[in-house]
Copies of this chain bind each other. A is one copy, B any other.
Amino acid sequence: MNTKVETPYEQLAKVFHEPNRLSIVSALCAAAEGLTFNELRDDCNLTDGNLNRHLAVLREAGVVRTDKTFVDEKPRTTVFITRTGLDRFQEYLTALQEVLKTAQKAIPSDKKAAHLSGALRAVTR
């Protein structure tokens, strides 16, 4: 193993980069009072099982915490982002912004430019 400098691509922490977890953490950032399990599941278009699995990963990483209470004798789970989670998510978004900027700059301004015609080929799927 060498000790190379981490590139922006390597900084895309896997815990946030997974699209459903990106969706979950975004939703929680906007919710100062937290979100119930059901709100989060519906906001993020997930099943109970999927949300449970992603929350386990996020809890394990210290990104979210969950509180269980009883409301009208029914159990209610509320999910919050932690301060550490918020800090790390901001770092992730900064890396993502950099990667996106690099990619957008790399796209040729005229995809049909003559010098590209050899390199690009229509591929039928």
A111 contact set on B, CB distance < 8 A? 83, 86-87
Report how many copies the assembly holds: 2
Q: Are B120 and A93 in contact (CB under 8 A)?
A: no
A17 contact set on B, CB distance < 8 A? 17, 19
A19 contact set on B, CB distance < 8 A? 9-10, 12, 17, 99
Please tell me the size bucket of the interface on A.
Answer: 35 or more
A71 within 8 Å of B (CB atoms): no
CB within 8 Å of B: which A75-120 residues: 80-87, 89-90, 93, 96-97, 99-100, 102-108, 111, 113, 115-116, 119-120
A96 contact set on B, CB distance < 8 A? 96, 100
